[in-house]
Each structure stands twice: as structure tokens, then as C-alpha cells.
Chains A and B, each alone.
Chain A
Amino acid sequence: MSATTARIDATPAAEAAATLAFERTDAKSLVVRLSGTWRLGAARPGAQALTRELGGRPPALVVLDAQGVTAWDTALLAWLRAAIAACAALGIEVDRSRLPTGVRQLLHLSELVVEPARLDEESPATFVGRIGAQAARLGESAVGTLRFLGNLTLALGRFVTLRAQFRRSDLYRLLQGAGAEAVPIITLLSLIVGMILAFVGAVQLRLFGADLYVANLVGIAMVREMGAMVVGIMVAGRTGAAFAAQLGTMKVTEEIDALATFGISPMDFLVVPRVVALFLMVPFLCLYSMVLGILGGSLVGIYMLGLSPHLYLDQTLQALSLADLWGGVFRGALYGILVGVTGCLRGMRCGRDAAAVGAATTSAVVTGVVAIVVADGILAVVFNALGI
């Protein structure tokens, strides 16, 4: 910056304060004299002083005189800009000839209209208007979701009939990511859930001398409900979020557009392998979770209640039917599809910036978990009606 200007971080002690003086040279002209140091960090007059002066007796011409200014930065420019705007609003002519050349240049630059200011779509001001706008947005979102589901169904049809365009290696990688790599965390969670169920049950059942029935409680709960629920929620947080973030980022970097322009359906190439991977892997994870949950429960049964391992296992097997097991596996497959679809849906409908990717990821987890809980409720009623 030149010698006549100064920076925010350089504030020598002995500097003249920014001052403002008005002088009426004749009936029509007002000279506005600025002097001292005009810097962002320092105290300086506001634009109101000029507005007041103009309001009292509006002149025909305002002469801006900054010859007394010893150092300046954006503070001076911002003040002058506001002053010029105030004069323009009152139809007063402005003389800038007594401003430093650099200041004149920058002011000129700031006044060039390059892009016509655009009025961004504003939300309606009234309450009813806002409800209407929100309803319209919901409608659009619902149509978008239905369109996605329709396209996904068609793509799944192509997958089943071996006509979908995708790379097998991608599918294998997704199977590994959604399945094998989730095993450690599922192990931990399932063991703990089984132990909690057994512990809570044991405390109550002991009152009736029915300790042995802890095995029934844990077995039925894990196989019918909790195995699938634990895996579903875990997969929603782990894999569903990852799908949304991956696809969202691909949207931002135009990778999805690039696929589409090469005639490769993003649905076939990106969405179907992800949904299929979860559909195939989640049931296995559920089976694994059921076994680990029962194991966790048995640890409590054996070491806390003093049941024999053989007895505990026998009681568990008696309590369970094959229908329970199939029910649990069916839930797992359904939850896998729900998490895969919601994760991909949010990713594919993501906006085009980093914030949108964050929102899509959050939304994928929330939608996935809500979908699982709602589906669980519906299945409970359906299975009950079917006598399973």
C-alpha cells in the first residue's frame, strides 16, 4: 500500500484522529473536509453527521475534500460510499476532485455495475404464505422421492435381469464395507445389548423364582426384534451416512453428471450396488447379532444367576421357533433396503455445496432410523396378525 495509506495491524501511537468538518462556501455548496487517519480499527465519525448536515439545509453541490487525510484504508472508502449514496438519494451533485486518485479509482470501481443485482426468491412474509411455500416445497420433495423410487425400481429390474451397468469390483467393495467391516462394532453392541436384556430381565424374574426364563427373554428379544434393530440402526449411522456423503460429494464435483453424459445411469452404477450390498449383508449381520446377543445374555445367566450353559442353551432353543428366526432375518433384509434407499436418496438429491453434503448426511441417518422404527412397528402388527 502506498505511503498515504495504512493497514489495520499497523497503528503507530501518534496519529491524528479522523475528523470531519463542514463549510458552506456559498449558498449552494457544502465542502466536507475529512482529515486525520481513517482506519477501520480507529474511532471515526459516522455517516449520520453528514446526513444531519444535509437534512438541515440541502445544498446543490457537495465537495468531498480528503486532502487533509494522512492515512486511510477501507474505512474512508466505506464512509465516502455511504456519503455519496446519501447525496444521490437527495439528488445532490458530488464533486470528487479533491479526493486522492487511489480513492477515486476504487470508488469508481465499486460503482461499475457488472452483474445486475438479482432478487433472490424471498419467502412470503405472511403466515399463510409461509405455510403455502412450505407445502409446495414438501410437494416437490415428495414428487422427487417418488421419482427416485420409480427409477430405482426400474434399475433394480435391470439388475435382476443382468442388464444394469455397474462394476462388479464396486459391488464387492461395497459388500465388504457394509458387511465385514461392520462386524467389530456389531459384535460389541450385540454383546452389550444381550447382557443388558438379561440383566434387566433377571432382576424381575428372580422375584418369581423364574431365573431360567431369562434365556427365553433374551432369545426371543434378540431374534425377533433387537438383533435386526441393533444392526439396522448401526448400519444407518455407519453405511447410510457414508452413502449420502459419497454420493453428495460426487454431486458437488459433477461426477454424477459425468456418468450421465456418458450414458451410464447413475442409478445402475451407483445406487443399485449400494442398495443390493446392504440387502445382502444386513441379514447376515442380523444373524450374527442374534447369536452374539444370546451369548451376551448367557454370560449374565451363567455367571450371575448360576445357570448351567447346557440348560441355558436348551431353554433358548425351546423358546425359539424357525419362524422367529426367519422373521428376524426378513426384518434385517428390509432394514438394509430402507437404509440403502434413504442414504442414496439423500445423496442423489443433495445440493451442490459442502453444507448441502452435511445436511444430506444428517438427513440420511435421521430418515434411515425413522424408517426402521416405523417399519418395525408395522411389522410387529403384521407378524402378530399372521401369528408369527
Chain B
Amino acid sequence: MEAKIEDREPHVEVSGLTLSYSGREILRDISFSVGRGDIFVILGGSGSGKSTLLRSMIGLLEPDAGEVRFGGESFTRAERDERAVMLRRFGVLYQKGALWSSMTLAENIGLVLEEYTDLGPAEIREVASFKLALVGLSGFEDSLPGTVSGGMQKRAGIARAMTLDPEILFLDEPSAGLDPITSRRLDDLILALRESLGATIVVVTHELESLLAIGDNGVFLDGQTKSILARGAPREMLEHCSDAKVQAFLRRSAAPAQGEAVVQPR
């Protein structure tokens, strides 16, 4: 599939990213760019390197080659101090929420504010309370993460990711393991955040409904070739991409991708 030419200026650029894990190549020569204000989805089956790509984009994994740029500035090659400043420009939701379990939901958000702003305790509380209200968690400020449901932990994770009003949000499997209603609401929240804040959002997901509903653009990673198999808007991929693997993935069809076994009904 041909790359879609974006009118918008690129906000996140990944070029020639190659990454190996203990001698095993996970990503090979990955290049794409995310337009400002886009909701960009990284698709692919389990083990295709989606989360690895995300982790290397946010600096948790160092690539063997290639570069990640935010707003034209290189993040990969930035010095430690520059990196620390750039880190504040984005927020991350981890797959399992990754809330600090010994702190209440409000404290999870408050810690970031204490670290990066000079707000007083009352203001911190006010901001934390607002962020939690945004994700529908009013009244849960003083709950510990262990005492709320998985979906609520995910939403609190998004609230924490939004603490510093980031310009880029990275969401790793935001709707995995959530019920359809909560998942739908999360999609609405992501759309609303983009619309009202103009944030660029990079989402790793394999929830079909979700990615078709919210994705403006995206790439499809292939676990076998370790590279990008298709790129463009998910709906366009669904309608126009001729690759069997992409079609099998997006249509949940039983048509086997090359070399992959498919469970046959008895």
C-alpha cells in the first residue's frame, strides 16, 4: 500500500529504526511519520513488535540504528538533559496502567505535578481531581489502585499520562481487557482529547473496532519480516490493502496468512 501523504506537519518521525533484543532482531528499518493532531495506530498481531516499537519511541529501549524525532528535534540523539525536557512533552499509558500501587489515584497524578510544577498542595489536589473527572473517576481521588477495577486503573493511567497537558500521548493497548462499553468510552475520550486539546495520539492496539473507530493513520507491523507491511488509515487498509495478512487481521477472516496456521472448525 502506498504511503498516505500527510498535509499536516509531522509531529513524530521515526526513521530507519532497527532494534534487537539479546541478539534477536525485533524491528527492521521502520520509518513513518505522525501528523500533528493525528490519532496514529500501530497495528499488528501478537509478537509483531508493536509494544517494542512504542517503548523505543519513548526512550525505554535504545534502538541499534535509526532515530525518533519529536517536532523536528531528535529524541534518540538528544543529551540527557534535553531528553528530560522532551519527556515532559509526552504522556504514556502503559499496558497495565502501571499506577504506583502505594499511592492513591490523586497522589499518582500529584507526584508528577510536585516534580514538575511549583503548585501548592491545594492546587495539585484540584488539578488531580479534574484530571480524574475527565476520565470519569470523580470521587475516587483517595482510592488506592488495588481497590479499583482494571478499567478504572486504565482510565486513571490515562489521567496520569495527561497530567502535564502533553502534546503527544502514547497509549499502549488502552482498551485491552475492558468491557465494550468502557472500551467505547475510552475511544470517545481519546477522540475528545484530540479535538479539545489538539494532542497527537499514538496508540498501540489490536482491538479492531477501536482502531477503525479512532485511527486517522497507522502502520501494520509484520512479525515475520520485522518491518511495516502496510500503512495508511485503518479503514483504507481494510478496503484497499491487498495483503492477505492485513486482510486476515482486519477482517478477522479465516483466510490463512502465508505460513500461519488457522484453527479450523470441526
Q: Which residues of A contact B (CB under 8 A)?
A: 1-2, 5, 7-9, 40-41, 73-75, 77-78, 81-82, 101-103, 105-106, 109-118, 120, 351-356, 358
Of A81, A102, A109, the contact of B189 (CB 8 Å cutoff)? A109
Distance in angstroms between the alpha carbons of A146 and B198 in the assembled complex: 58
Interface presence of B165 (CB below 8 A): yes
**Residue in chain A with minimal CB distance to B189:** A109
User: Is B152 on the interface with A (CB-CB < 8 A)?
Assistant: yes
C-alpha spacing A68/B119, complex, angstroms: 24
A81 in contact with B133 given A5-B198, A351-B146, A355-B102 (CB within 8 Å): yes
- Shortest CB-to-CB span from B157 to chain A, Å, is 14
Are A8 and B164 within 8 A (Cβ)? yes
Is there an interface contact between A120 and B133, defined as CB atoms closer than 8 Å? no
CA distance A355 to B103 in the complex (A): 9
Residue from A7, A9, A74, A355 in contact with B127 in the complex, judged by beta carbons closer than 8 Å: A74
Contact present for A353 and B127 (CB under 8 Å): no
- Say if the beta carbon of B242 comes within 8 Å of chain A: no
How far is the CB of A79 from the nearest CB of chain B, in Å? Answer: 9
Asked whether B146 lies within 8 Å of A1 as measured between CB atoms, the reply is: no
Q: A115 touching B137 by the CB < 8 A rule?
A: yes
Q: Are A102 and B136 in contact (CB under 8 A)?
A: no
Smallest distance from the beta carbon of A116 to chain B beta carbons, Å?
A: 8
Known contacts A74-B131, A355-B102; is-contact A110 B167 (Cβ 8 Å): no
A74, A113, A354 — most chain B CB neighbours (10 Å): A74
Contact B140 A118 (CB under 8 A): yes
Q: Is B63 an interface residue (CB 8 A)?
A: no
Q: Determine the distance from Cα of A111 to Cα of B132 in the docked complex, in whole angstroms.
A: 11
Partner of A102, one of B113, B119, B131, B197: B197
Task: Show the binding face of B for A, using Cβ within 8 Å.
Answer: 85, 88-89, 101-102, 113, 116-119, 123, 126-127, 130-131, 133-134, 136-140, 142-147, 152, 164-167, 185, 189, 192, 195-199
B165 CB to nearest A CB, Å: 5
Which of B131, B138, B139, B165 interacts with A8 by CB under 8 Å?
A: B165
Q: Which among B89, B102, B130, B136 has the highest number of chain A CB atoms within 10 Å?
A: B130
Cβ–Cβ < 8 Å partners of A2 in chain B:
197-198
Chain B residue nearest in CB terms to A120: B143
| List of B residues within 8 angstroms of A8 by Cβ | 88, 116-117, 164-165
Q: Is the CB of B118 within 8 A of A103?
A: no
Cα-based distance from A176 to B212 in the complex (angstroms): 54
Q: Report B-chain residues with C-beta under 8 Å of the C-beta of A77.
A: 130
Q: Which residue of A lies closest to B122 (CB)?
A: A46
Q: A74-B131, A112-B136 are in contact. Are A355 and B101 (CB under 8 A)?
A: yes
Q: What residues on B are CB-neighbors of A1 within 8 Å?
A: 165, 167, 197-199
Q: Contact: B152 with A115, CB < 8 Å?
A: yes
Q: Considering only CB atoms, which chain B residue lies closest to A106 in the complex? A: B196
Cross-chain pairs A/B with CB under 8 angstroms, 9 sampled: A1-B198, A1-B199, A5-B197, A7-B166, A103-B196, A105-B192, A105-B195, A114-B137, A354-B101
How far is B143's CA from A116's CA once the two chains are assembled, in angstroms?
13
Which residues of the other chain, B, contact A106 by a CB distance below 8 angstroms?
134, 192, 196-197
- Contact in complex: B164, A117 (CB < 8 Å): no
6 smallest CB-CB distances across A and B, nearest first, come from A117-B139, A114-B136, A353-B101, A102-B196, A110-B133, A355-B102
Contact indicator A102/B139 (Cβ below 8 Å): no
Beta-carbon contact of B130 and A81 below 8 Å: yes
Shortest distance between the CB of A191 and any CB in chain B (Å): 40
Task: Beyond A40-B127, A78-B130, A105-B196, list 9 extra A-B contacts (CB 8 Å).
Answer: A1-B199, A7-B165, A8-B116, A78-B123, A102-B195, A109-B134, A111-B133, A118-B143, A358-B102
Residue of B nearest to A103 (CB): B196
The complex places the Cα of A81 from the Cα of B134 at a distance, in Å, of 11
Asked if A9 contacts B88 (CB within 8 A), the reply is yes
Q: How far is the CA of A78 from the CA of B124 in the complex (A)?
A: 10
A354 touching B165, Cβ below 8 Å? no
Q: How far is the CA of A352 from the CA of B137 in the complex (A)?
A: 21
With a 10 A CB-CB cut-off, give which of B139, B146, B196 has the most chain A CB atoms.
B196
Q: Specify which chain A residues have a CB less than 8 angstroms from the CB of B102 in the assembled complex.
A: 353-355, 358
User: With A and B bound together, what is the CA distance between A367 and B215 in angstroms?
Assistant: 54
> Nearest-CB distance from A253 to chain B (Å)?
11
Which of chain A's residues have a CB closer than 8 A to the CB of B123?
A: 40, 78
CB neighbours of B143 from chain A (8 A): 118, 120
Are B136 and A113 in touch, CB under 8 angstroms?
yes
CA distance A105 to B142 in the complex (A): 26
Q: From A121, which residue of chain B is reached at the shortest CB distance?
A: B147
How many Å lie between the Cα of A358 and that of B146 in the bound state? 14
Complex Cα–Cα for A375 and B198 (A) = 66
Cβ–Cβ contact B89 & A9, under 8 A:
yes
In the bound complex, do residue A110 and residue B134 qualify as a contact, i.e. CB atoms below 8 Å apart? yes
Q: How far apart are the CA atoms of A103 and B134 in the complex, in Å?
A: 12
What is the minimal beta-carbon distance from A121 to any residue of chain B, in angstroms?
10
